[in-house]
Each structure stands twice: as C-alpha cells, then as structure tokens.
Amino acid sequence: MAKPIIYGFVRLGRKAGPLANLRGKPMSLIVAENVHKVYQAGEVAIHALKGVSFSVEPGAFVSFVGPSGSGKTTLLNLIGCLDKSTEGRLTVAGTDVSGLGRRQGAAFRGEKLGFIFQDFNLIPVLTVYENIEYPLLMVQDVPARQRSERVLALLEAVGMTEQKDKLPDQISGGQKQRVAVARALVTNPALVLADEPTANLDHATAYQVIELMKRMRDSFGTTFIFSTHDPKIVGEAEIIYTLEDGRLAGTQARGEAAHG
C-alpha cells in the first residue's frame, strides 16, 4: 500500500466514547437492524428497503453495489441522516439516527459525517480553497488559524495545492472530486458517504479518486462507504455489500468468496 504524503495535517482527537464498549473493545460504527424504508408515491407504496441488517466497523472501506433501484442510494441517505427509516433501528457512531430532528440531523452531519456527491456539488462561487474551508467556517465555526492549517494540509493531501485559488469551473471533473474528498474530510468525520462518486469520471480518473479515498482512510482512519456500478471500482472495496430489490443479497470481503 502506498504511503500517503501528508504534511502538517492536524488531526482532531476522535472520541472513544460512542465507539467503544465498557471493555474498550471497538464497537461497530454503523449498526442496521431490520431497516425498512417505504416511499409513498400517491396511493402506491414503494418498498425501497426490506429489512436490511448489517454492521460496519470503524476504519472500514465499504462498497454497496447493486442494480439501479436496488436501494443503495436510499440506504446511504438513511445512514447520512438525510432521510428516516420507516421501520427498524439504525445506529451511526453510537447515535440512533432515526430519531433525529432537522436541526439535530444537521448538527450530527456536520460533526460526524462527510459527503461526496456524484456531481461533485462544489459551490460555484467559492474557490477550491474556500470550498474545502466551507464546512469548517459555516458548520463547525473553527478559528481562522486552524482552518487554514487543515485546509492547506488537505489540499496537499489531495494534490490540489496549485489549484487552490481556482473556481470549480476552472478545474477538471477528477480535480473537482478530489476537492470534494478534501471537503468531506476537512471536519475530520467518523464516516464519509459517497454516492456513486465515480459515475461522472472516466475509468482512470475514477480509479485515482478511489485510490485517494483509500489513502485518506489509511491516513485518518476515516470509514468510507460508497456506492458504485463500476465492477472494477467495486473491487477496490474491502467489504462489498450487494443489494437487490431492497434486500441485502450478499456480503463479500476482499479476496473472499461472496456469501449471501
């Protein structure tokens, strides 16, 4: 595994409390128990998730795969507190996220989670530097000096230092996703969720982005969960959960045979 080149990055101390049991043994970062999600489309009920149960350990590099409509995005939205399950229990970083209100959800996302989007979703009026700085400034109210240190370290980590003053429309898709990775990591979250992060990139760039995410996991111990269609990209995950028709159809650890 290539050693990440990171200089001067200041890591926040991660709280052991929510993720450790009384004996000090690491607890699962995510625990999903019989999670259901039903959407109401007019009079038609769409059962997007049908009793999904799984767990993810801290520091894991996990992928959810499956055909379109299998429930990948729905599951990532539930984990990311962007939506609420209809039934079941979903615990993320020790918090039952199904009970969080609008403000609590926003606070939880800002503190514990990072997001990488398929379309990059950078703020077009902000430079690369400012996009990465945004969560520290607008979400966590981090002092200026610390902000600067963290942003510069992450710019270097994702190889975007020279482009720091450019606006998003002045950089390539792969570079945008690098910036998005840096923005997701800048708050030092416990978990980064990436929904189809490579869908809009060519294969080589997609591979580089996945490699970057992996390096970041190795450097900061951040758990990464991503969804993808690309079979070659899927292979980069250490744990692969396969979803079919709203159900967990199989789990596969890297190098192991799939089991359902």
Partner 1 sequence: MAKLLKIAVRNLLRYRRRTVLTASLITLGVVFVLVFVSVTGSFKAMMIAQNTDSMLGHLQVHRKGYVASIDNLPLNLNLKPGAMARLQRVLDAQPEIAAYSPRIKFGAMFSTFVETTNIRLNGVDPEREFATVPLLPARILEGEKTLARGEIWIPELLARGMKVKVGDMVVIVATNQDGSVNGRQFKVAGVLESVSGPGGRDGYIHIDDAAEVLRMEQREVSEVAIRLKDFERLAAFSEKLGMLLEQELNQQGKPIFEVHTWEKLSPFYNIARMIDVMTFFMKLMLIAIVLVSIMNVMIMAVFERIREIGTIAAIGTRPGRILSLFLLEGLSLGVAGAILGSAVGAVIIFVLNVSHITYDFGRQKNLLLQATIDPVDVLVLSVIVVVIAVIASLQPAFKASRMEPIKALRHV
- The residues binding partner 1 (CB under 8 A) are 77, 80, 82-83, 102-103, 106-111, 113-115, 117, 119, 121, 123-126, 134-135, 137-139, 183-184, 187
Tell me how far apart the alpha carbons of residues 20 and 166 are, in angstroms, rounded to a whole number: 42
Q: Which C-beta is closer to partner 1: that of 109 or that of 178?
A: 109
Cα separation, 141 vs 20, in Å, equals 27
Q: How far is 197 from 187, CA to CA, in rounded Å? A: 19
The least distance separating partner 1 from the CB of residue 155, rounded to whole angstroms, comes to 18
| Identity of the residue, 20 or 82, whose beta carbon is nearer to partner 1 in the bound complex | 82
Dihedral class, residue 156 (left if φ above 0, else alpha if ψ from -120 to 50, else beta): alpha
* Closest CB to partner 1 among residues 123, 253: 123
CB of 215 to partner 1, least distance (A): 21
Query: Quick one: 103 or 259, whose CB is closer to partner 1?
Result: 103
Alpha helices for 64-162 (secondary structure H)? 72-79, 102-112, 128-134, 144-157
Find the shortest distance in angstroms from Cβ 21 to partner 1: 27
- Residue 59 falls in which region: left (phi positive, over 0), alpha (psi -120 to 50) or beta: left
CB of 70 to partner 1, least distance (A): 17
Cβ closest to partner 1, residue 109 vs residue 217? 109
Give the shortest CB-56-to-partner 1 separation in angstroms: 20
178 CB-contact burial (10 Å; exposed 0-12 / middle 13-18 / buried 19+): buried
